[in-house]
Amino acid sequence: MNMNTKAILTMGVLLLTATLLSSCFFTTGNLDKVFPLKIGSATISNIRIEPATIPGGATQQVTVSFSYHHEDGDLGLKAKVTIRVSGIATEHHLELNKTNETVRLPVTVSTPNTETTIPLEVTVAIGDQVSSPQTATIQVASDDDKDGIGNREDACPKTPGIAANKGCPVPPAGQPDCIWFVDNWTPPIQQKRSYKVGREVFAMVNDPDENISSDTIDTVFVWVEVPHTGDLEVFRLPELDVNSGLFVNVGPLLTSFPIGATRLDGNLSVFDGDTMLLFYGDVNNFSQQCLTTAVAGG
């Protein structure tokens, strides 16, 4: 093979190699168009805080919810959610499996014990795309008795209580005084030591063990007896609220009955000055028995 032939072959190999390389780069460029490296923009909306108002003077957890939209979200993209409360940021990482979805995230908040508002800001970052910051406000209410119920919602703002009784106290569960004679059957419910004859008797039991179902109203039974007249009646107490473990309702009428008394007839026969005994026993825990008293008349 002479020199001219070798030169021609060498030139041909170089041209072929260049063509192949050019084709490869061209194919990669086309793939970039088919499978773009950049992703669409992220947007968020409908920011909500639960509960809407929180008590002051405590560190507590609220739930921040928002809706996002991302046109590539159903590809399983990773997202970083930044929630900034009073300038302090927390980051949350989640995977987007839908183009539109509502997200709920817990956030810890420390509040002063005063009527105020706290600014909150939410930003979602997906890849190199970042949504514009969206703002909301946390409402803070004073809570003088530090029971977690703000003064505005607390019927007993100076005495610690529970939410189910509008911030008022109830008998301690599992203690000898886990049962009360009370003044009513709707919150706030207060202890009562006497009833006028002719009025209805109310009772309240605090027994979390009898909160058997977290979805429906449970029921317990209590007994009220008047030793002087020998009368005995049964109260049926439904749960104050689903999953509360508090039971309260109206009982028999207090009736003045000087001749005699009929047990279990729905009327409690008493004279002014008679002592009434109210008894509760947990049918699932015989060691838990509660007794309290009240006086008829006054």
- The pLDDT tens digits of the residues spanning 232-289 come to 999 999 999 898 999 999 888 888 876 678 899 888 999 999 999 999 987 776 667 8
Q: Is omega for the bond preceding 187 within 30 degrees of 0, making it cis?
A: no
Query: What CATH number does residue 75 fall under?
Result: 2.60.40.10
- 191 touches 206 (CB < 8 A): no
Instruction: Answer yes or no: do 292 and 167 share one domain.
Output: yes
Closest by CA to 98, choosing from 118, 115, 73, 130, is: 73
- The yes-or-no verdict on residue 19 having pLDDT over 80 is no
Distances (CA, A) of 172 to 167, 213, 238, 239: 14, 21, 18, 16
Q: Are residues 64 and 179 in the same domain?
A: no
pTM of the model: 0.66
pLDDT at 87: 83
Q: Is the pLDDT of residue 12 over 70?
A: no
In a domain, 20, yes or no: no
Average confidence score pLDDT of the chain: 83
Answer yes or no: are the C-beta atoms of 291 and 222 closer than 8 Å: no
Q: How far is CA 161 from the centre of its chain?
A: 17
Q: Are residues 85 and 174 in the same domain?
A: no
pLDDT reported for residue 269: 92
Residue 27's φ and ψ, nearest 5 degrees, are -65, -45
182 and 275 part of one domain: yes
- Residue 76 to residue 98: CA distance in whole angstroms: 8
3-class DSSP string for the chain: CCHHHHHHHHHHHHHHHHHHHHHHHHHHHHHHHHCCCCCCCEEEEEEEEECCEEECCCEEEEEEEEEEEECCHHHCEEEEEEEEECCEEEEEEEEECCCEEEEEEEEEEECCCCCEEEEEEEEEEECCEECCCEEEEEEEECCCCCCCCCCCCCCCCCCCCCHHHCCCCCCCCCCCCCEEEECCCCCCCCECCEECCCCEEEEEEECHHHCCCCCCCCEEEEEEEECCCCEEEEEEEEECCCCCCEEEEEEEEEEECCCCCCCCCCEEEECCCCEEEEEEECCCCCCCEEEEEEEECC
* Residues 222-248: tens digit of each pLDDT: 999 999 999 999 999 999 989 899 999
Specify if 12 maps to a domain: no
Type of residue numbered 293? T
227 and 275 part of one domain: yes
Alpha-carbon distance 164 to 244, whole Å?
7
Does residue 278 sit in the same domain as residue 175? yes
Claim to verify: residue 111 and residue 176 sit in the same structural domain? no
CATH of the domain at 249: 2.60.40
Evaluate if residue 145 carries a pLDDT over 50: yes
Question: Are both 221 and 255 inside the same structural domain?
Answer: yes
Where residue 288 falls (left for φ over 0; alpha for ψ -120 to 50; beta otherwise) is beta
Q: Are residues 135 and 168 in the same domain?
A: no
User: Do 200 and 249 lie in a common domain?
Assistant: yes
The answer as to whether 1 is a domain residue is no
- The mean pLDDT of 92-119, rounded to a whole number, is 90
The answer to whether position 5 is within a domain reads no
The structural domain count of the chain equals: 2
What is the residue range of 127's domain?
A: 42-141
* Pair (189, 267) in one structural domain: yes
Would residue 55 count as lying in a domain?
yes
Q: What is the model's pLDDT at position 293?
A: 95
